[in-house]
Structure 1
Amino acid sequence: MSKHFETHRPLLMGDRFMITADHPLAVQAAASVLEAGGNAMDAAICANLVLTVVRPHMSGMGGDLFALVYKSDTGAFEALNASGRAPARATLEFFKEKGYDKMPEYGILTSTVPGAVMGWHSALERHGTMGLDKLLARAIDYAEKGFGVYTDLRKAMIDRRSKLEESQAAMDTFIPQGKVPEVGSILYQPTLAKSYRLLADMGPDAFYNGPLGRALVEYSDQLGGLFSEEDLAAHRVNWVDPLKTGYRGYEICTQPPNSQGLALLLQANMLDTFDISGLKPDSAELIHLMVEAKKLAFADRNAYVCDPEFNEIPLDKLLDKELARDQAGKINPDQAAPQPELRRFTTGGDDTVYLAVVDEDGNAVSLIQSIYEAFGSCVMVPDSAMVLHNRGRGFSLDPDHPNCLAPGKRPYHTLHPAMILKDGKPAYVLGSPGADGQTQTVIQMTTAMLDFGADPQQAMEAPRWRAEPDGTLLMEGRFPAETVKALEQKGHKVKVLDDWDEVMGSSQAIRINENGLKMGGADPRRQAYGICR
């Protein structure tokens, strides 16, 4: 195997279950659920709940959630969309009158109705065996008794301090006594523990029809926000069919719009027209091909991805294999194409958590949850510790754009969980945080595993690239110098990063082989870990 696939962490293998998540405490909590007889969904929600406590800058009950779920007993395979909608008063005219020509980056006006709480409830009600009351116990414990502050959490506190200072509740929680906690100090969140006890007692009604929701509306009114109790009570999740395309005898599956998952499949369709297995995995030829496919895919993503309840999206045409061949034919193997024009499309939001679970019965969950950017809107609702996301940044204020803001509309989302099926059953469960980088990371992992025979840990640790909206090609420093030089000669604006850079995501993957063995691991670039049995 090429040095490209050398690893520092071992490949995990277990014949019972496997769980990976973006923090070791979440992994351990989820494993305890599986050991106690819970299923993959129980474990996934438990892990997510713990992540909202120990990764508060990336996830929380003030955010949104997407998941892919496979049930082994019935073969059912479906996608959960638990993203929230814009308040009824969130009109284009309101923002124009306020002087905005694009969505603000922070503050109360950047948040849509948080969907995560209803997502947790609906996922457990439909596919779990345990309730929120039991699964919240570990999260409540870490909120009340605290956990150790780690480097990237402290960095997020420092980076967002000026915004957090506008929310006294956030300051009291994350920067107590006006001092950013040191690495190794203990972060306590007693108010969050109190709120989670309400969720344990009342279920989602604690938020959508109860005291947590009323606190949000009251604080929104104080800040000049747009939320109403009617907006919260009207929230609903959607269970839909996953989006799929064929690749090398497998099916790559992801979340349909309003998620950007479409871009993953568009890239896969174009790459499927080439025989790339004969190329070196760290070669300029392969990277150039994949970057150019990404540009074409993202141009269609930017033009079409929106809430399908408001605009028809021609998914069948976009995913047509003949179109993919036409698109692939536009790629010049010797020259980088100009960056497609951006259409006032926000591209931030690297702060997300991902997790994957496969249980002993073969049930599988691929789940991703986020408050978008670090600490989201940087608004914490007093007396609830709810940090609101700023996912409203995904809207456009261009009235001609299909993703234009409208009351009751869901914004464009970067979030997209993934699975790869073989003969209708999960062969790989995978995903990554990383905003615009999410589909780029997942397609790199997919080609590594399906085209070059890498195992999941090798695919995750391989040097990674990320093509930015401004045309810059970010590359980790482990790529060969001759590869960087050749890409520059093709016209790419290369920026070489450190050998391991967290901007490249926090990928995770589990492979289920033919005899049911689970093989997987987690990305060392952030805090991700895995446990198996």
Structure 2
Amino acid sequence: MGRLRGALGAMGKAILAGVVMIGWGDDLAAGPDKSGGGDRVVGAAFATRAPVLGMNGIAATSHPLASQIAIDVLKAGGNAVDAAIAANAALGLMEPTGNGIGGDLFAIVWDPETERLYGLNGSGRAPLGQSLDDLKAKLDGDDIPDWGSLSVSVPGTVDGWYTLHDRFGRQPMADNLAPAIRYAEAGFPVTQLIGYYLTRSAEAFRTLHAQGIVEEIDNYKATYEPDGRPLGHGDVFRNPDLARTLRLIAEGGRDAFYDGPIADTIDAYMKRIGGPLRKRDLVDHTSTWVEPVSVNYRGYDVWELPPNGQGIAALQMLTILEGYDLAAMGFGSADYLHVSTEAKKLAFADRARFYADPDFYDVPLARLLSEDYAAERRATIAMDRASTEVDPGDPKLMEGDTIYLTVADKDGMMVSLIQSNYRGMGSGLVPDGLGFMLQDRGALFSLDPDHPNVYAPGKRPFHTIIPAFITKDGAPWLSFGLMGGAMQPQGHAQIVVNLVDFGMNVQEAGDAARYNHAGSTQPFAGPGPMTDGGTLRIETGIAQEVRMDLEARGHDVEYTKGPFGGYQAIWRDPETGVYWGATEMRKDGIVVAY
């Protein structure tokens, strides 16, 4: 395990090949990188910092205040589930561009008492009173709009909190929600990245409202533009409406949201703007405990949640990639990026065809994750050329913007939690006086009546947000996630490969240059099948000669700033029990431990 603490051993030369970065450790032979950055004394030169260590508790989130809140909860006697809920509630206030109580939640929990993983699907369903024909009759085109009332599905987050808490929580939910309520009332400074996204969202929602897609934006402006302009970096943001809403939840429990005053307000608001969601949909909502699924990758069991999410795409990628000697190829090499991209295309072709709500469709999980199926798919990859069109496989069907956080406590409980409003901050719709935006996850349904993910009343849409976990020899090893739409399965696979094949430590694995292939066929209404091979986006840490090699094989490659997702992770040293935490350098968060 020592190699995962930053040492590379024999891997060093292979990893340096094809990577435009100052070398690892003391190797400065590459000369100045002209980036204007400083030099690290030890560890990978590209790493932003060393992992954060702790033994009593640790929290990695995308906002510094949320990480501190989680630690405060642990110190006050709460456990990792309490701390995760408290941090998530704060993030809904502090990062409204990505999440909030108008969205959905998924989680994986390692319980030290039973020594097993538990999975929670906290995603909401489509309105019961709207049929597929009803929906199509309202559409101005062939797609479900990404914003506005037709994209809204039932918010699952609050029920997800209480379902997690009922099973694992230690301190009262009112105590878990108290920090977010205090910050909502007193205010907090907006971070750099969130200020940027709020400005972008303001411009987008004005345009969408003018186009008639978002029915009203007065509530949005009253909540997120209190001074008549978008909040920016360093501005103090107060959200008294959300504070009142969270107090109602703290006092009345989940029923205050789903069968009480909050549900009544949402119902009245949707009727006023002509949307389909009703109180009945909220009353009927429940979260679902699900069994996490896994594949073994070179001795490590990598766990994801089953559909309606896309987590198994990461497992499919890893099962295909296990047939290659990635360590010999080297991090950042053309061979590694080529086979990874081709594996992604294959997994995403299946994702577009077979991932859907299991209550409505029998997803062929066992076959999709089997080694012989991976071997069949792997055999279609040619090392000298990129595929332009990829069909889904045949798993014998005839027989049948987001936040991620992770917390661990002194008793060994570890929580991997992801929560989201989906695209562009959400639907644009803020119910009267509630202080939060409703999600637009319903845009991810297909309109094809023969597709497993076709819209249906009471059905959960295909979901992008996925928490992850790794165990080794039956013990917890890594709680991690990497949010960001279709980047997530690709990012999960990259993190696993960086740790297992390339010997990086938990922080280096997230700081290393990433790739993001875009353009695969989608499982929802929208763009048609991939016919041109898509686009391979890479960060500038990948060498120009590698880009040229990939282009010679037929890849369309571009350097870009993303989207490359947002990563948080906690690695547990199996020998000492010490937690090693990492957070995303592309965002504003931190790791806090004690």
TM-score by length of 2: 0.86
Structure 2 residue corresponding to 1:492, chosen from 535, 555, 563 = 555
Q: How does 1:424-463 map to 2 (within 5 A)?
A: 424-463=474-513
CA contact (8 A) 1:70 1:364 kept: yes
Q: How does 1:296-315 map to 2 (within 5 A)?
A: 296-315=346-365
For residue 155 of structure 1, report the CA deviation from its aligned partner: 2.3
- 1:122-163, Cα deviation, whole Å (9 max, x unpaired): 101111102321111110111111111223222222222245
For residue 341 of structure 1, report the CA deviation from its aligned partner: 7.0
Match of 1:409 in 2: 459
Structure 2 residue corresponding to 1:144, chosen from 169, 172, 185 = 185
CA contact (8 A) 1:157 1:175 kept: no
CA contact (8 A) 2:192 2:588 kept: no
Match of 2:135 in 1: 95
Q: How does 1:367-406 map to 2 (within 5 A)?
A: 367-406=417-456
Q: Determine whether 1:122 maps to 2:122.
A: no
CA contact (8 A) 2:201 2:425 kept: yes
Matching residue's letter, 1:53: L
Distance of 1:502 and 1:23 partners within structure 2: 20
Q: Determine whether 1:154 maps to 2:199.
A: no
Distance of 1:258 and 1:34 partners within structure 2: 32
CA contact (8 A) 1:108 1:225 kept: yes
Match of 1:39 in 2: 79
Distance of 1:521 and 1:262 partners within structure 2: 24
Distance of 1:233 and 1:164 partners within structure 2: 29
Match of 1:510 in 2: 570
Matching residue's letter, 1:366: S
Matching residue's letter, 1:474: R
Distance of 1:157 and 1:32 partners within structure 2: 28
CA contact (8 A) 1:415 1:435 kept: yes
Matching residue's letter, 1:432: L
Indicate the SS of the match to 1:432.
strand
Matching residue's letter, 1:458: E
Structure 1 residue corresponding to 2:315, chosen from 247, 265, 268 = 265
Distance of 1:316 and 1:129 partners within structure 2: 36
- 1:194-245, Cα deviation, whole Å (9 max, x unpaired): 1111011001111101000110010001111112221111100100100111
Structure 2 residue corresponding to 1:14, chosen from 54, 57, 80 = 54
Indicate the SS of the match to 2:339.
helix
For residue 435 of structure 1, report the CA deviation from its aligned partner: 0.4
- 1:61-89, Cα deviation, whole Å (9 max, x unpaired): 10000000110111131100000000112
For residue 96 of structure 1, report the CA deviation from its aligned partner: 1.6
For residue 375 of structure 1, report the CA deviation from its aligned partner: 2.0
Structure 2 residue corresponding to 1:86, chosen from 126, 135, 146 = 126
Structure 2 residue corresponding to 1:133, chosen from 157, 174, 194 = 174
Matching residue's letter, 1:201: E
Match of 2:102 in 1: 62
Q: Percent identity?
A: 39
Q: Determine whether 1:531 maps to 2:592.
A: yes
Segment of structure 1 superposing worse, 371-380 or 163-172: 163-172
CA contact (8 A) 1:82 1:238 kept: yes
Match of 1:348 in 2: none
Q: Determine whether 1:167 maps to 2:230.
A: no
Q: Determine whether 1:520 maps to 2:581.
A: yes
Indicate the SS of the match to 2:88.
helix
For residue 167 of structure 1, report the CA deviation from its aligned partner: 1.7
CA contact (8 A) 2:430 2:438 kept: yes
- 1:234-279, Cα deviation, whole Å (9 max, x unpaired): 1001001001111101110011100000101100110112221212
Distance of 2:484 and 2:441 partners within structure 1: 14
Matching residue's letter, 1:206: A
Distance of 1:36 and 1:157 partners within structure 2: 33
Indicate the SS of the match to 2:424.
coil
Unaligned runs of 5+ in 2: 1-11, 17-22, 25-43, 207-215, 393-400, 521-533
Distance of 1:109 and 1:98 partners within structure 2: 8
Q: Determine whether 1:189 maps to 2:239.
A: yes
Structure 2 residue corresponding to 1:108, chosen from 143, 149, 152 = 149
Matching residue's letter, 1:400: D
Indicate the SS of the match to 1:386.
coil
Matched pairs, number: 522
Segment of structure 1 superposing worse, 165-174 or 252-261: 165-174
Distance of 2:231 and 2:102 partners within structure 1: 23
Q: Determine whether 1:320 maps to 2:370.
A: yes
Higher Cα Rg, which structure? 2
Matching residue's letter, 1:16: N
For residue 469 of structure 1, report the CA deviation from its aligned partner: 1.4
CA contact (8 A) 2:199 2:231 kept: no
Distance of 2:283 and 2:194 partners within structure 1: 33
Q: Determine whether 1:476 maps to 2:516.
A: no
Distance of 1:163 and 1:124 partners within structure 2: 36
For residue 170 of structure 1, report the CA deviation from its aligned partner: 1.0
Unaligned runs of 5+ in 1: 343-350
Match of 2:524 in 1: none
Q: CA RMSD in A?
A: 1.4
Structure 2 residue corresponding to 1:335, chosen from 385, 407, 413 = 385
Match of 1:345 in 2: none
